[in-house]
Chain A
Amino acid sequence: MLLRYLLIRFFPPLLFLLVFFDHSAIHAQGASEFPEELQQVTDTLFLEEILIQSTRIREPLHYQPVEVRHIDAARLAQYDTRSIATVLSHHSGLFIRDNGPGGMATLSQRGLGPTQTEVLWEGFPVNSLSLGLADLSLIPAGLFESVEVSSGTPSSSFGGGSLGGTVWLSSHRPDENNRISLMQSAGAFNTRNSRVHAEFDSESWNASFGGIYNTAENNFSYYNRATGQFDQRDHNAGSSGHLMGSAGYRFTNGRVYTSLWYLDSDQQIPGSVLTGSTQAEQSNRVFRWLAGAEAGLGRWKMDIRGFLERDRMQYLDPAIDLDSRFQLDRGLMEVDFRRPSTGMIVWQGGISGGQEWAETGNYADERQRRILGLRLNPEIRLPAWNLRFSPAMRLDSYTGFGRVLSPSFGANWEVYEDHLFLRGMVSRDFNPPTFNDLYWAPGGNPDLKPERSFRTEGGFIWQPGLPLIEEIRLTGYRIGLEQGIYWFPQSGDIWSPDNVEEVDARGLEAGLVLAYQTGRFGLRWDSGMDRRKSEIAKERFPGDGAVGRQMRYVPGWTVRSNLDLSMAPFMVNVNYRWTGQRYVTEDHTHALDPFQVLDLTASVERTYRGLDGYMRVAVNNILNEQYEVIQWYPMPGRHIEFALGLGIPM
């Protein structure tokens, strides 16, 4: 037992360090071992230089002042109908608080909570107005072309909510390869997934359509620590349908575009394993629509965009006579100005505003708030010194708590051209209270102020341009959260929130990418290790036992490693994650054990008479690890999924 514990506890970090330094040694010894042309990887894996959107600093990834992970279309295609939560847990430093198949999955970034990271769809927030978080289990990867995880995006970019950064979802952008693709998969626990996707692009018009339908029983067996035996997860079936359509028209001096996203989900809610089967069910109907127009106005470019969202949720539990319904609406507008320039300063800024409404029996009345934001975020380039600065200032005004000023300053120094980039940012950020915090009845506190934080981060990207080693990244950060919202009993048994929490979050994020290709064979090994310390800095009440201790459900260490092997037409992906201990109680009297998960996916692609076909087999949790990310919400053991796909050119 001790040996197993030591292995689980210490082996993955050691392995990472060994790999890290071992390959540094390889680089030092064999820098000229591989010819230049072999440094390319297969086209399905190569990350093209793209302009990052999640920071509002329109530069490629390595010129950003903060850490950004870009997950591209080729990678997302491997996950098809699986949720974005799976993608992020495999390929980013986010810690996904996964309640298991069929359950909610939220994210924790840099030791902060799910309400403190903003999930954006093309720049508009999709976090729930009531809870303040996004349920990633309801967002399938196949709907999107790319995902960016920017742990350093300040509030000066998109307004409040990004104390722990942003996750940016990009819709498909049709290219000249007009086609229809179909996919059908089946797997353990009676899981069935269907996907259809079509893209059309002409000189002026483009359009895309995606549809995904999932059903699953999710009746997996698990080891129940409470009873000491294997049980089966019951009352955990669900189905969901997702539609996304986009269309655009290009004209001489600009374009107009629109996208629709509809979600229809019905899910049985089993609760924790302690409660056993229940009668609880949840349904979500979410409609999102955005539309915009880009045009040139002299030397300026202007982008006017609008966003509407209606989120209807119903939670029903006849056993306790509970019927909880929410209707949450958002209407937002944004006007962006940008003056492209080859000179020193690129001026840009914007005005945004809108209204948010909530109607539910859980609040005493219909609630709403209006938002107005002004932003100025020029980009300054000093080519002579290879320096880029990104100062920004944003003023947000909310009905309720008033105005908030969010300044930030970022810098990027290209120390060695195309190879070594030093970067850093300081920012003052905020997170508005959620509607539940403000208006939950009883207990909501309408006098809440926004959470504030002061964030600094710095690090480097080294792309040595040598065989095998593609990239080494290291980022350190520190976030001081003030006026954090904390719920506690303030009037007898009634819980209320107040701005009493102070958190000191700091950590290191390290990454290493190895790549190699020769002939048909390609290899790409992307590993990362995160160290987080996120502690309550000040007593929230007399005798607070949490001060100076790691916060609940924040693992001190996580390690991930993703290996892609390709030899056309075959491809193998091996993904390994190790997650350290998570405390369940604030005073560390209870903790969940570390766990490790190893997934393997093998696929083969063939083209026949213009038709692209593929077959994929995924074996998840090969080690059959019995684990819980959230206490009493078990994860499935080893399980398999098969998928068949077909691409039809038009």
Chain B
Amino acid sequence: MLHLNQKLKSGTYTHKTKTPELYLFITLILIIFTTGLTACDDPLSEDTGREVATLLVANEGNFSDGNGSITSFSPQSGELVQERFQQVNGRPLAGIIQSITVHDDRLYIVSNNINKIEVTHVETLESIATIEMESDFAPAGFAVSPDGKGYVSHLNDGAVYVVDMEQFRVSDNRIATGQNPQEMRILDNRLYVVNNGFGYDNTITVIDTEHDQVADTWEVGAGPVTLKEDSENRLWVVSNGRKAYDEEWNRDPENDVNGRIDVWDAANSELLSTIETGGFPRAIALDETDARAWVVNEEAVQRIDMNSYALVEEAVIPRGFNGIGFSEVENLFYLAYSAGYTQSGRAIMYDRQGMVVDSFSTGIAPVDFHFMVD
């Protein structure tokens, strides 16, 4: 492991005579040197006064094996714990992780196949409750409103259901959305739902969480998959696009619909920009300090200027990944590399220049990150 606090490298020193002056000189040098070290400390922590205590990695797992898991990693100590949920609770997560959501001090782990949402303490992953669903319910995304109501998207039903967070039970309160709703975000009293439609929908459903009614529908690129908010209340919507096949199921690239990024002003429901990325983007991370958005596309990680909305670099990193997260206190991007569904993946840390800093092993098919900051 490479740590942000670099270790001192000791040298060798030989001498023939020992005098009080020499001892005094060495003592002074040591005092100056150690004082200097203390003052310098970690330059990134000095900027923010904070450090990443633990980051959680959501690993999707293999469908038939039901081995989705949470990996926890502490950048400071280098402590790495695989399958942390199982370690803490003595039972496997046993599902395919669709998404993780943090609200207050709770982590919500949404799994399909077993169709449940595990509610845990975010720091310890100790189980609080399990929200169970019927076998034909395919949960995908989860969000909690400011007044404490839960929402879960049903992938196969074109709807979002309200969750009673006191009883930890999915209610009958159904709110129709677009096709195959997946990830969701809540800003103020608005719930934003991406309607993926497996490439055949191109909308975001905006739901008023006070009245649980659809307030608006935004048009975005084909097959929206995720959305991220920034401090200016902008929502960055990533649309995956759609790959075309001919009647014999051969690839038909000429009829592909490429993905794109749509940036919306959430407060005013106004489209600020559409950024044509080409390819089939699947994830985004926002580095607001540097005003750069990093987009995980099929074969490369791209960089967008968050002010001009221009694609400024086609391939910061010339390879594809499963997911991305930005650690703002470390100024590092964490990229999720999947080695298929039958062996462990890796989280690889990159600096802003796109240089590899370090990496660690994850569970199977890592897809998302959550950073817990002290």
Contacts and interface: CB of A to CB of B under 8 A. Distances in A.
Contacts of B92: 225-226
Interface stretch (A83-91, A273-281, A571-579, A607-615): A273-281
A545 interface: yes
B277 interface: no
A584 interface: yes
A279 B156 CA distance: 15
A275 B135 CA distance: 6
Interface stretch (A21-29, A287-295, A485-493): A485-493
B364 interface: yes
B66 A272 contact: yes
B364 A585 contact: yes
Nearest to B114: A274
B27 interface: no
A283 interface: no
B290 interface: no
Contacts of A488: 340
Interface stretch (A34-42, A207-215, A524-532, A586-594): A586-594
B102 to A, nearest CB: 24
Interface residues of A, number: 39
Contacts of A587: 339, 343-344
Contact of B136 (A279, A544, A632): A279
Interface of B: 62, 64-67, 82, 90-92, 94-95, 113-115, 135-136, 156, 243, 245, 247-251, 280, 298, 337, 339-340, 342-344, 346, 363-364
A244 to B, nearest CB: 33
A631 B91 contact: no
A488 B339 CA distance: 9
B249 A444 contact: yes
Interface in A347-405: 363-365
A274 B67 CA distance: 10
A319 B342 contact: no
Contact of B342 (A228, A491, A586): A586
A365 B363 CA distance: 39
Contacts of A546: 342-343
Interface string A490-506: 01101000000000000
A274 B280 contact: no
Contacts, number: 99
30 contacts: A225-B92, A225-B94, A226-B94, A228-B90, A272-B64, A274-B66, A274-B113, A275-B115, A276-B115, A279-B136, A319-B135, A364-B249, A364-B250, A442-B251, A488-B340, A489-B340, A492-B243, A492-B280, A541-B339, A543-B346, A544-B339, A584-B67, A585-B62, A585-B343, A586-B340, A586-B342, A586-B343, A587-B344, A589-B343, A589-B344
A364 B135 contact: no
A320 interface: yes
A585 B342 contact: yes
A227 interface: yes
A272 B342 CA distance: 17
B64 A365 contact: no
Contact of B245 (A275, A278, A442): A442
B360 to A, nearest CB: 14
A547 to B, nearest CB: 10
Interface in A438-472: 441-444
A489 B135 CA distance: 28
Nearest to B363: A589
Nearest to B66: A274
Interface centre among A276, A494, A585, A586 (most CB of B within 10 A): A585
A152 to B, nearest CB: 29
Given A225-B91, A589-B363, 17 more contacts: A226-B66, A274-B66, A275-B115, A275-B135, A277-B135, A278-B135, A279-B136, A441-B249, A443-B249, A489-B340, A492-B280, A543-B339, A545-B343, A585-B65, A585-B344, A587-B344, A632-B64
B65 A584 contact: yes
Contacts of B346: 543
Nearest to A443: B249
Interface string A304-340: 0000000000000001100000000000000000000
A552 interface: yes
Interface string A533-554: 0000000010111100000100
Contacts of B251: 442, 491
B343 A632 contact: no
A442 B249 contact: yes
A590 B91 contact: no
A279 to B, nearest CB: 7
A527 to B, nearest CB: 33
A104 to B, nearest CB: 12
Contact of B66 (A319, A541, A585, A631): A631
A276 B114 CA distance: 7
A625 B336 CA distance: 39
A590 B156 contact: no
Nearest to B248: A364
A283 B181 CA distance: 32
A587 B341 CA distance: 11
A589 B82 contact: yes
A173 to B, nearest CB: 41
A49 B250 CA distance: 55
B248 A545 contact: no
Interface centre among B64, B82, B95, B243 (most CB of A within 10 A): B64
Contacts of A225: 91-92, 94
A597 to B, nearest CB: 23
Nearest to A321: B156
Contacts of B364: 585, 589
Contacts of A278: 135-136
Contact of A275 (B62, B91, B113, B342): B113
Contact of A585 (B67, B249, B280): B67
Contacts of B344: 545, 585, 587, 589
Given A274-B66, A442-B249, A585-B342, A226 B114 contact: yes
B343 A226 contact: no
Nearest to A542: B339
Contacts of B90: 228
A596 B298 CA distance: 47
A506 to B, nearest CB: 22
Contacts of A274: 66, 94-95, 113-114
Contacts of A590: 65, 67
Contacts of B298: 492
A574 B304 CA distance: 70
A441 B343 CA distance: 25
Interface in A210-251: 225-228
